[in-house]
Amino acid sequence: MLEILSLIRQDGDPEWCRSVPNWDRGPWLETLLGYRRAKGNARPRIISSHLPVHMFPRAAFSSKAKV
């Protein structure tokens, strides 16, 4: 899924996918390092998570974020 979203974000150009590691393109939200990287990434951000959906903040579902 991360590869597909990365390609969509870059309009199909695979160079970004080849040059930027997965953990930088879609950091895990549930780790402190991942959270910090996600905050520093340019918008639109890609964020990965293995959290159950009921543990996400309600604001994530009422915002413009795609979940």
Residue 35 has pLDDT above 80, yes or no: yes
pLDDT (0 to 100) of residue 13: 93
Residue 67 has pLDDT above 80, yes or no: no
What is the average per-residue pLDDT within 19-26? 93
| Average pLDDT value for the chain | 90
Query: Catalytic: which of 18, 43, 50, 66?
Result: 50
Q: What pLDDT band is residue 6 in, cutting at 50, 70 and 90?
A: very high
- Domain coordinates of the chain in residue numbers? 1-60
Measured distance CA(50)–CA(55) in Å, rounded: 10
- Our answer to whether residue 54 is catalytic in this structure is no
- 10 Å Cβ neighbour count for 30? 12
What is the average per-residue pLDDT within 39-45? 90
